[in-house]
Amino acid sequence: MRMQDKVALVTGAAGGIGLAIARQYAQEGATVVVADLNAEACEASAEEIRAEGGHATGLAMDVTDEQAVDAGVAEIARRHGRLDVVLSNAGIQHIDPLDELALADWRKVMAVHLDGGFLLTRAALRQMYRQPEGGRIIYMGSVHSMEASPLKAPYVAAKHGLLGLCRAVAKEGAEHGVSANIICPGFVRTPLVDRQIPQQARELGISEEEVISKVMLKNTVDGEFTSLEEVSELATHLAAFPGNGLTGQAFVVSHGWHMH
């Protein structure tokens, strides 16, 4: 029970990595707010967590919507009196070569990752600065916060940007007891990855199996996908770690794809 009595907000938590982390946070004793675009999907995921004995509520929140983020965080503070952990996880991918990339698609990816990350951070800090215990802000980066891949320019740029935001929060937040860290996973089998396998196969003119073995897992030490459990364990460790000892850091969980 590493997160007993903590209140945690996880965005993009209706499915994929966000839901896996929300689930583990609840198993560790936290009260979890499951935020995502669709109210029913949030409630269904929260219900899943409650059925496992955890405390969870759903919250419809588009992270690119300033009003929705401010109102959502204010509602959590009103209901629970505190906000200890924020995991900025909502994300989208877009596959296109740079010379064909539409400005609208570039902006969409930037908006979800960077505008979303900023809006969530600002709202969380305003609450955490009022709490003597401060808080933990954790970003879902990627190996693409450090490495580039072809066809993913907006995603790579946005994930590098989140690393910068994380470091800035670490500097400003320290005196208020707020730490910030970023998790950088390799490929995890979620809907986000499943969608891009056929897209990449088409763009690169190779089979879907080759996208997995020759593109996604080529540089791992064991040819394995990173698992939801591995990412959730790291997210729990960072949420529970006391003090400012770990802040402004990037943690790569990628089966050795990226070593730094």
Catalytic residues: 155
Residue keyed to tokens 């995890």: 188
Of 72, 94, 84, 55, residue with least CA distance to 11: 72
Q: E-assigned strands of 50-177?
A: 55-60, 85-88, 135-140
- By CB under 6 A, residue 17 contacts ligand NAD: yes
Gap between the Cα atoms of 37 and 181, Å rounded: 24
Stretch that binds ligand NAD, among 26-34, 74-82, 188-196, 206-214 (CB under 6 A): 188-196
HSE-up (13 A, CA, CB side) for residue 125: 19
**Subset of residues 133 to 162 that bind ligand NAD, contact rule: CB under 6 A:** 140, 142
Of positions 192, 201, 204, 206, contacts ligand NAD by CB under 6 A: 192
Is 185 one of the binding residues for ligand NAD (CB under 6 A)?
Answer: yes
Amino acid identity, residue 86? V
CB of 148 to ligand NAD, least distance (A): 14
Torsion, Cα 34 38 40 44, to 10 degrees, reads -40
Our finding on whether 89 is near ligand NAD (CB under 6 A) is yes
Among 191, 205, 242, 245, binds ligand NAD (CB under 6 A): 191
Size of the site for ligand NAD (CB under 6 A): 27
Phi, psi (5° rounding) for residue 207? -80, 165
Minimum CB distance to ligand NAD, residue 106 (Å): 15
Residue 90 engages ligand NAD in binding (rule: CB under 6 A): yes
The owner of tokens 């877009």 is: 94
Q: How far is the CB of 168 from ligand NAD (least distance, A)?
A: 19
Q: Which residue has the tokens 């759903």?
A: 58
Pick between residue 8 and residue 112 the one whose CB is nearest to ligand NAD: 112
Interface pick for ligand NAD out of 63, 76, 217, 239 (rule CB under 6 A): 63
Rg (Cα) of the chain, in Å, rounded? 18
Q: Work out the number of other CB atoms within 10 angstroms of the CB of residue 44.
A: 15
Question: What's the rounded Cα separation, in Å, for the pair 153 and 161?
Answer: 12
- Per the DSSP assignment, residues forming a β-bridge with 252 are 184
* Residue 196 makes contact with ligand NAD by CB under 6 A: no
Interacting residues with ligand NAD between 99 and 128 (CB under 6 A)? 112, 116
Tell the smallest beta-carbon distance from residue 120 to ligand NAD (Å).
9
- State in angstroms the smallest separation of the CB of 162 from ligand NAD: 9
Amino acid at 201: A
Residues that bind ligand NAD (CB under 6 A): 11-12, 14-18, 36-37, 62-64, 89-92, 112, 116, 140, 142, 185, 187-188, 190-193
